[in-house]
Structure 1
Amino acid sequence: MSKAIESTVFERRVNALFAPYTKPGSPGAVVGVMRDGQIEFCKGFGLASIELGVPIRPDTRFRIASVSKQFTVTAALLLAAEGKLKLSDPPHKYLPELPPLPVTIDQMMRNSSGLPDFLELLRLGGHGLDRPARPEDLFDACTRNRHLNFSAGSRFLYSNTNFLLLGLIVEKLAKKKLGEVLAERIFKPLGMAQTSLVAEIDAVIPNLATGYLGDREQGFRRAAHAYPQGGEGGLTSTVEDLLIWSRHFDKPILGKTIPAQLTAIAALTGGKANNYRRGVAVEELRGLQTVGHGGLWPGFRTEFLRVPKAGLTVVVIANLGSIDPWRRARAIAALALEDSGKMKPALAPITQAEIKPLTGTWFNAQEPSLFDLAWRNGEATVTQNGLPFALGRRAGGWLAAERGSYEFALKPGAKDTVKVNLGAGRVLTFTKVGKRAAVPADLAGTYVSSDCAAVWRITRDGNDWKMEVGGPLISGGAPWLVRGLDADTVELESPGSWIKATQLAHLVRDGDGRITALEVSTGRIKKMRFDRED
């Protein structure tokens, strides 16, 4: 239980942040706050299981998803220190089934490899997280692909493929399952007794919270997922264990250089900064550097946040998809540090008045990239590739994504344009979309991608267009929607119970103007080719 007194102002304000989830019948979250190695606050809010009425407690276990990545990286760094692995090697040296792409293991750790996300590769073939898959299916998606989103090392783009493969490399070198390696080399030495890698979705895990979607107004429903998980996101853990892990950054036990290696800087090949280090992201909170990572899985969301110069750690883990731990962890950190004199004053919040003239749909054909900007739920919200994210004010007039997994910042440009910084020094001009063009009449046909083994059949029924999608794991299913954008680009929307994603397809034409291929871009895949079949 918390060492702080229940009636302190800090604790009352944290309680207020989570008060809506203490009402009967609601999932919720757990919060842990540690300063200088001492736990000051640790408390659960809401229910770990609505069905059973079990409350969330500090020892409740959750799926922490991508927070797992730093542990997979740590295992690989330990092997590298023993001379069993070289970070400058390509992954196919250790996994010869992979195509020989010019990618290094260090670039994989830093999400700068350019490897497409295997979740996206399978989704382009019509397969989603709610449909069963085997570990070999996920690996096959990686071995099949020969496409790079960009020259390795030149940009940051989040990809789960990097850490799935890294975990498999650790397994091969250690000759043990990744879960065993992590338990023996990290969790047991540190005393993280409630943390383990559980790949199988049907495994019995004591004290594991149930994940939920929805909210009180819409109603809660159990989140469905059917993918096994590995080095990219397979850990279950507790807030207490993650606070133990945070202590290791300050007083290393596994290896004195591990924390420094996790946070080590490496510029991109163009000389621009990459704020994603090795399995952790470096950001800023009102002038103070932060180190941490988030996790997102159907029904589970996590934020592991360290503020090293303040000696502060905040962990928020939720079993409800509509809770935002990223924002709540930073709000709690600000409360904890508000009288410390260590933080800069908060920038003025973005106002609805300044967003109003920017509201609408914006497009850059060369990238290609499309997004909507709107004032939603009291804040400036961008929706890109079907995913919404909030903007916050930054210096220099920029309005930037509030999460490190997105590189996105905008500011007004000339008439009906905005400037958008997409990272790696790429500041592009987006124009406002007026009336969309019709879907090109000659788009109908069959398109195939060897990189993801997807087959797309686009058909027209009057003014309505749809696309039937099949892939290596599935055929049939609900059709995708096809919408026009401009003469050379269409937008495709894939259905989903968790996320309805969108992607852009650029029409590639030959010298006679005939469509020969589509170049498809999603949130984590760029310009993947789908060839037209006659």
Structure 2
Amino acid sequence: MMKSLLTCFLLLSIYLLNAQESNKNDLFLQVGSLLHNNYNSDQPGVAVSIIKNGNVVYKNQKGTANLEYNIPISDSTAFNIASVSKQFTAFLAVLLEKENKLSMSDDIRNHLPELKHLPYKITLRHLASHTHGLPNSNELANLAGKGLDYNITHQEIAQMLLNIKQVNFKPGAKYEYNNTGFILLAEIIERVTGKPFQEVLQDRIFKPLQMDHSMAVSSSSIIVKNKAYSYKKENDMYKNYVLNMKANGSSGISTTIDDLSKWAIEFQNPNKINNVVFDEMTQTTTLNSGKTIDYGLGLEFKNYRGVDVVFHGGGTAGFRSYLLHIPEYMFSVVILGNNNDFTPLNIVYNIVDLFLEEHLEEPSAPKKVRYSNKELKAFEGTYEMFPGTYYNILAENDTLYFQSFGRKGKAPLPVIGDGEFLFPYVPTTKFSFYENGFIFNIADFKYDCKKVELKPKDIPSKSDLLKFEGAYKNEEFNINYELVMKNNQLVASHSINGDFELFPLAQDSFYTNQSVFSKVDFIKNDQGDIIEFQLSGRNIKNLKFRKIN
């Protein structure tokens, strides 16, 4: 009898093991189908890795790393991981804090005396949590005509930021995602250690974890072995999307799917010291008001279908990266890509749905999915996303429409439900309305758009506009713009960026519908003469341009 029971138990164990293995293989086949359905072998693609309980349980690649030479993506292909780099910078800073070499509460002016003129104390914690209030490096570089396709090194960007003289808002007052904080944090790490940032990364992270194919790339002249090239699709054709802007700290790390998986494994099973560091990085940030935000130090948090997620995404030029952890289930997903689309984001969460299905909550159905035109009228109005960037929301024939301010065309917004409307023209984008505002959701980014009252003036006469003409200079960053009349239209002209038309917004105030050069407010002296204009926009507020003639 005992022998029969043992035999039955053994057979049952074998059956269960085979069932588990079969289920696992079925999941892997479904992930493979995801990649197959979204990417072709002869087009830019992705590398994917799934980590469970400290082990890589699945790894795959699909697509081409270099279209010119038809080189396929492999597990040794190196990708620029863009903003996923931020967590490495934050890790180094916190690690140095544990060694008493700095404090996250330090005033950055003590480490960077070039910024001694800043009006407020900004801490290293402010830098690593996007609450510092400094203007963003990307917007400043773009304003000077040095965008993604301009060859600019990390050192040049850092030097530009060390000229900052004013802030957008008081540190700790709000969260505003940008790259400046992490670039300056990398500069502080270099000064504290007395070593180049790349060397500190190698010594403290890459070598200990045997991430032998990872490096910080601070210049276009640096050779990256087996690198993926960056692409974008235009008119059904792929084109090179060259990334020449190199910034360490906020971006710039080049790594492979194997190496980044080792970093994910360390997050799941950290040593004693690293565990303390990760614990500090994954604490939410508290603003001056007492409000907490879902960002720690180089890492973000959210709840997805009932499970808590720690993550960060990255995107620059055609490179895409995403690193997601679900600590409760020791589960991580890593994805790297070289095409400028949003597909990697969808793949990551499809993988989460597949592997953790039994632990996830079913999305709740919206209570209200139909709106009358009268109800939609409550959403109507003009909304400000950034200074100088405005949108109109219109209700017509039981349909909500989106319109760029000052433009005639409009686009319908399909209803999702409960005050949410799809923006189908950009993937993973929707509007979530609340009283007198909406959240513009783009992937993981959330932009708060408040309803505003704008009453643009009639077109000023040519004589009225002539008083604004002249050459203007920003002393901080040595940026020059000339305001001139062209075809009876006031235009801001730059030697590289070209011309931006200025449209009247209020007395002595104009907007441009451009992200680089957005809202312009002219300042007069006591005699009524124009002496400067102040430029505001995304991550820039009241940047002063003095009239020089």
Fold similarity call, TM over 0.5: yes
- CA offsets 1:410-464 (integer angstroms, 9 cap, x no match): 4165xxxx424699xx987415879885477243333322333222111122244
Q: Which moved further from structure 2: 426-435 or 247-256? A: 426-435
Contact 1:398 1:411 in 2 (8 A): yes
- 1:80-119 correspondence runs (5 A): 80-101=97-118, 102-119=121-138
SS in 2 for 1:256: helix
- 1:340-489 correspondence runs (5 A): 340-345=358-363, 348=366, 362-364=382-384, 369-371=389-391, 397=419, 410-411=432-433, 413=435, 418-420=436-438, 429-431=450-452, 438=459, 441=465, 442-469=467-494, 476-484=495-503, 486-488=505-507, 489=509
- 1:5-404 correspondence runs (5 A): 8-19=25-36, 22-101=39-118, 102-214=121-233, 217-253=235-271, 254-338=273-357, 340-345=358-363, 348=366, 362-364=382-384, 369-371=389-391, 397=419
Q: Distance in 2 between matches of 1:513 and 1:407?
A: 45
Distance 1:134 1:62, change over 3 A: closer
SS in 2 for 1:190: coil
Partner of 1:523: 538
| Amino acid corresponding to residue 199 of structure 1 in structure 2 | S
- CA offsets 1:248-303 (integer angstroms, 9 cap, x no match): 22321253301111112231001112222101111221232211111111120111
Q: Distance in 1 between matches of 2:293 and 2:404?
A: 23
Q: Distance in 1 between matches of 2:102 and 2:368?
A: 47
| Amino acid corresponding to residue 437 of structure 2 in structure 1 | K
Distance 1:106 1:196, change over 3 A: same
Q: Which moved further from structure 2: 40-49 or 21-30? A: 21-30
Contact 1:64 1:236 in 2 (8 A): yes
Partner of 2:518: 503
Partner of 1:387: none
Distance 1:127 1:6, change over 3 A: farther
SS in 1 for 2:90: helix
Distance 1:529 1:344, change over 3 A: farther
The CA deviation at 1:382 is 9.8
- CA offsets 1:95-114 (integer angstroms, 9 cap, x no match): 22233432111110111001
SS in 1 for 2:138: helix
Distance 1:365 1:381, change over 3 A: closer
Distance 1:352 1:443, change over 3 A: farther
The CA deviation at 1:160 is 1.2
Distance 1:303 1:466, change over 3 A: same
SS in 1 for 2:51: strand
Q: Distance in 1 between matches of 2:66 and 2:385?
A: 47
Contact 1:352 1:380 in 2 (8 A): no
Q: Distance in 2 between matches of 1:315 and 1:298?
A: 19
SS in 1 for 2:298: coil
Seq. identity, %: 24
Q: Which moved further from structure 2: 257-266 or 5-14? A: 5-14
| Amino acid corresponding to residue 370 of structure 1 in structure 2 | Y
- CA offsets 1:457-498 (integer angstroms, 9 cap, x no match): 1112224443222xxxxxx2241322415225433366xxxx
SS in 1 for 2:167: coil
Distance 1:346 1:207, change over 3 A: farther
The CA deviation at 1:393 is 9.8
The CA deviation at 1:247 is 2.1
More helix by share: 2
| Amino acid corresponding to residue 262 of structure 2 in structure 1 | I
| Amino acid corresponding to residue 517 of structure 1 in structure 2 | E
Report the TM-score when normalising by structure 2. 0.80
| Amino acid corresponding to residue 430 of structure 1 in structure 2 | K
| Amino acid corresponding to residue 174 of structure 1 in structure 2 | T
Query: CA RMSD, aligned part only?
Result: 3.9
The CA deviation at 1:407 is 13
Unaligned runs of 5+ in 1: 385-390, 470-475, 495-499
Unaligned runs of 5+ in 2: 1-19, 406-412, 442-446
Partner of 2:8: none
The CA deviation at 1:222 is 1.1
- CA offsets 1:35-74 (integer angstroms, 9 cap, x no match): 2223232111110111111111233210001111111111
Contact 1:480 1:493 in 2 (8 A): no
| Amino acid corresponding to residue 201 of structure 1 in structure 2 | S
Q: Which moved further from structure 2: 440-449 or 68-77? A: 440-449
- The total of aligned residue pairs comes to 501
